Structure 1
């Protein structure tokens, strides 16, 4: 699920041109320098999940460890970023599917929206039917996708290319980013590449042995997608020129990569990988946003109807229905924004700002929750102290730096969507939601038996807070 959430083939197909536009040949370095702090955030999710099994994940953790208003902001950041992604994900799904039949159809925004909407609705149905069927579908789709990427990526590296000669500077990037401004822009795009691995945290209430498996899944997901991203990005540098990568009229880069390895059939196979990846990540993103809304509805920080689960399928059916309706409206509205490539560039930057918010807050939250245990051992100091803190500071840096440098439309989408959250937060705070009361149980690792963060297991069976329905253990 974590691999599917990060969607390696989709991320490479839809975002490589944006990353190359920001980092050029040192795009692999941007991915590396984002992967290190991102892994720190994955450690934060791992240890926070040991203390609180909650479908809201960072929404619940940040609210209990730092402050309820910050917790709501964390949850809202995920909700709006995932909702925007429904457009950013569905458009390439439609575009790449159409490219199997006609390049003219693939360049038609309305056609891409239509086909993407159909794919989205099918995934919404699978999510509605329960976590078990969703997980089985992911095994198939993501397994095929990863196998294709590994095979073609390694074959491309062996094949080599004439576009550029490999340089170790691609992996380190020192002096090639164009200063702090250039580095922050590239790293924000790289953060979007990785985003989605934390779906395992939102599935914690439906996962067996979730205190271990949810966090471990996220860690494995970050490492796995990083390896795939590096192999394919280096191969793209070797085979396709920088000009062709960023040219919106060029053939899809993964199609070109596939045809280089296996002329004729290779491009079609890579397109299949992208379609599977896109459909898979639409499914995991739907899980994230609907589980977050479920937890928020259960706590009555948004309308309580969102906290209802289906009596048979044990899924948050109201949240799923609302997200589907809103997303379909955004599909139609997105056509007015221009071409698919322009919509993608704006969406990637806006989502990057939003995910930087809740990742940073989670990194700070784990340090606070484990603050009395950080100095108990070296592993504690590293895995619940320094590494998550460094990840949080890095994400906060990306947010602040890019707020000062991104174009106005991207800032408006990113921050405007976040600002909308002030309305429900203020309303339900005034109404006296239990979530905002000062007596709410704080998240404190000293209440658990875990002494060593690396080896010890927390025995704090903190149940999901609030009232309302719960989600069944299913996966």
Structure 2
């Protein structure tokens, strides 16, 4: 690869050499599951999916779940060979080369940053609904509570890896207990609250849009890849915990979505695109105390807020370390965390949220832009799959530090090709059906952002001089 960079494990001056390797497997898989935020995901997307595809949303989710589960095995393979805080960004630089890697960096930044404000505002809304259910909050009240949650998210991230893991575990336990409780309650009340199953005609466009939206509920488990440099066994545990997270997410969705659809009239769910479909379901199965659903939703939302930020800050740290973006993003605090990246990301989130709430004209624009998160998340995974396909075919032959026997990964290669085909087709289909589901202008917005990535590559082309290869003391690599 003619644009391959020089590898180096040297650190930037004035920073600790590397992050603390403290995560074990039982730290990583709660991170993977909580980052998905199953309860928040259902609350955030259930109404949209019901409106776009009705009962057909379920096969649409299942259809996208297959390539995402395959992707979790792909991530494990790449983690075992190239553990790095930059994960996707680093893998493509090692396998695909400088140009592709820098374009993927742009996609990665958009995918995860666009995912954070749509979590921050609901965190405030659920909090206000829980503590003051009859209060109609003003924009000032909403932004103040949003500031609280942003600060709350920043605290564990700035304190270090272990505090982040411990706080996440507490929220993870609450969410898992709540999921189990509502699943049992829904099953026991099914005979009394069932509204019947009516699929109707196949809404092809709606199903395709739902599949892209589903990217926002099927991702998150990949957080362990970005935690590789903080893992005690960076070649073994990251990837494995991601597979656990991806599979468990499917179990949760396979229970919650069908129960919610079966026990709540579809017309009510479809009308709840701006509210909470889980609350509607809770009113039917637990009419005397339906407010309790807000507790697990809030826990799930809050966890998703700091864990999505975690993913982005680790990626930015890797990019800053290699000077793709300003070096400040690649510096570590005394607690060995990327403090500047954390403060910069959450600070910008507050700016965007404030604009959404207080500037009506720009707020509509930012709402349209942020609705593209699912598209860019899907694009990010698409690039990762392409990296794996290249690695499993020709890429490894041009990497002198990597030994791999392709015949051992024939099924994974076939699955990766299948996944790339599905994801690529959905990305194209989104341009056709996206405007009717999201709004006019989404296609033009996507094109502008994709072309801006080319400008980003040109501007940063000469900035990266060498790749930082993580020197973890893990056990031997076994193919």
Instruction: Tell me if both proteins adopt one fold, taking TM over 0.5 as the criterion.
Output: yes
CA distance in 1, matches of 2:214, 2:98: 29
1:376-455 matched pairs, under 5 angstroms: 376-377=407-408, 380-383=409-412, 385-407=413-435, 408-429=440-461, 431-435=462-466
Distance 1:115 1:412, change over 3 A: farther
Deviations 1:212-238 (A, max 9, x none): 211011111111111111211111111
Q: CA deviation at 1:102?
A: 3.6
Would you say 1:350 and 2:372 are equivalent positions?
A: yes
8 Å Cα contact 1:188/1:349 also seen in 2: no
State the secondary structure of the residue aligned to 2:332: coil
Question: Secondary structure in 1 aligned to 2:196?
Answer: coil
Report the equivalent of 2:340.
318
Shift of 1:335: 2.0
Matched with 2:5 is: none
Matched-pair contact (CA < 8 Å) for 1:6–1:281: yes
* Pairing partner for 1:165 from 173, 187, 196: 196
Task: Measure how far apart 1:343 and its partner are.
Answer: 9.1
User: What is the CA-CA distance between 1:31 and the residue it aligns to?
Assistant: 1.6
Q: Which moved more, 1:254-263 or 1:323-332?
A: 254-263
Report the equivalent of 1:24.
Answer: 54
- Report deviation, 1:159: 1.1
Which residue number corresponds to residue 235 of structure 2?
211
Match of 1:304 in 2: 327
Quote the RMSD (CA, aligned, Å): 2.8
Distance 1:164 1:49, change over 3 A: same
Unaligned stretches of 5+ residues in structure 1? 170-174, 443-455, 461-475
**Kept after mapping to 2: 8 A contact 1:120/1:279:** no
1:224 pairs with 2:248: yes
SS at match of 1:137: helix
Is 1:361 the counterpart of 2:383? The answer is yes
Residue 98 of structure 1: aligned partner: 128
Alignment of 1:113-262 (within 5 A): 113-160=143-190, 162=193, 164-166=195-197, 176-179=201-204, 181-248=205-272, 252-262=276-286
Residue 55 of structure 1: SS of its match in structure 2? coil
SS at match of 2:113: helix
- In structure 2, the partner of 1:458 is 477
Q: Does the 8 A contact of 1:360 with 1:395 survive in 2?
A: yes
Give the TM-score normalised by the residue count of structure 2. 0.82
Residues 121-178 of structure 1: CA distance to partner in whole angstroms, max 9, x if unpaired? Answer: 21012111111100011111011112101220232023115453247x6xxxxx8542
CA distance in 2, matches of 1:62, 1:116: 35
Distance 2:315 2:385 in 1: 18
- In structure 2, stretches of 5+ residues that fail to align are 1-30, 395-403, 470-474
Residues 281 and 72 (structure 1), Cα distance of their counterparts in 2 relative to 1, 3 Å cut: same
Deviation of 1:389 after TM superposition, in Å, equals 2.1
Aligned-residue offset at 1:93: 0.7
Taking the aligned partners of 1:354 and 1:140, their CA distance within structure 2 comes to: 30
Tell me, in whole angstroms, the C-alpha distance in 2 between the residues paired with 1:38 and 1:325. 31
Q: 1:127 to 1:432 in 2, by over 3 A?
A: closer
Q: 1:346 Cα shift?
A: 4.1
Please give the alpha-carbon distance, in whole angstroms, between the structure 2 residues aligned to 1:369 and 1:255.
46
1:335 corresponds to: 357
Whether contact under 8 Å (2:392, 2:406) holds in the other structure is: no
Partner SS state of residue 85, structure 1: coil
Secondary structure of the corresponding residue to residue 115 of structure 2: helix
Q: CA deviation at 1:285?
A: 0.8
Distance 2:233 2:210 in 1: 37
Aligned residues: 429
